[in-house]
Amino acid sequence: MKLRQSALLAAGVMGAALLATPAFAAKIQVDDNTSIDVRYLMQVKYEDPSNGPGDFFIRRSRIILSGNINETVSFFMETDDYNQGKGANGAATGSGGKGIFTQDAYVDLKLPGGLNLAAGYILLPFSHHNRQSAASLLGVDYNLDLVKMPNTNVWRDTGVELRGLLADNMVDFRVGVFDGGQVDSTGSALTTSSNSKRITGRVQINLRDAETGFFYSNNYLGKKEVLSFGVGIDTQKDAATFGKTYTATTFDAVLDMPLGENVLSGQAAYYTYKNNGTNSGKGYFVQAGYKVGDLQPVVKIESFDFDTGTDFSTVRAGVNYLIDGHGANVKVEYASKKPSGGSAVNTVSAQLQILL
């Protein structure tokens, strides 16, 4: 009965999406080289797990500002207010009472040789998946159980990053130095006296089109031909408990290929984490989608094996209705997450998105 009710609510969200309007962005042109773009992202979600009550909440609400100061200096800044109204959190308190906060804020400098230097509060260049924009995901959300970088705020950290495309855009590299953790996983001050910094970076080999933007995507809707393979690392000396070095690695492969009027999208990634027991382990995900007209069926498989803790595996299946691409869409998903030695939790979710 509960599954049927969840399906009916998901269908209601799908119907409401028919009333959505096309996307647009406001641009303020100061002069020939100076401009400001203003955008807004909202995701309204309904989530109904088998082990709890159904819940409507605001998954993301973001004000996005970007612009150019001149031909060599640009900036990006966005706020977020996530999970407002979820669970016991009221509409005024949100998730953990955090409310609106600055999620990204960086200055981007164009350097000679096609290089860029970003400085500020930056989405870490670790894996293709965590560097993707939340506005253009293949499924309802990220594979959140696989990206376990510590000492971040929604995978962001403060520092500088150098990125560029080499060898006729075949090699994409992104590497940065960041503050990292100031305390270990127990809350104690780090034992290092050298004030070691976090080093995060990745190298990606592009066999088709390059992903030239700051953010990646695994859902270009036929606008790019992407076939790439990448490796990444995130590490900081003495950042784990008892003075241990924290290190995470990832290997990923990405496909986003037009096939006539349709589009095949897919991604696979493998992660390892060594953090002296805190979220240490290894895992992977595989996901695929096939766009036919305005519909895009999606399947996802996730698995994680903890060094200490309860392992899990998750299977997801859903469909995206692309009213206006990423500007307006609704995504419906059924997920079954099974912990080792336990019973599966089955969840039906539906999410309506607008991006202006």
**Tens digits of per-residue pLDDT, 132-164?**
999 999 999 999 999 999 888 899 999 999 999
Long-range (24+ apart) CB contacts under 8 A made by 167-170 are: 169/206, 169/210, 169/212, 170/205, 170/206, 170/207, 170/210
Cβ atoms of residues 51 and 347 within 8 Å: no
How far is 155 from 142, CA to CA, in rounded Å? 12
The Cα 94–Cα 79 span in angstroms is: 14
pLDDT at 89: 60
CATH number of residue 217's parent domain: 2.40.160.10
Query: Is residue 9 within 8 Å of 46, Cβ to Cβ?
Result: yes
What's the total number of domains in the chain? 1
- What digits encode the pLDDT tens for the residues 316-328? 999 999 999 999 9
Q: Which amino acid type is present at position 255?
A: L
Mind listing the pLDDT tens digit for each residue in 13-26? 545 544 544 445 68
Task: Write the CB contacts of 79 (distance below 8 Å, at least 6 apart in sequence).
Answer: 62, 63, 100, 101, 102, 103
The predicted-structure confidence for 192-223, as pLDDT tens digits, reads as follows 545 689 999 999 999 999 999 999 999 999 99
The residue segments making up the domain with residue 48 are: 2-355
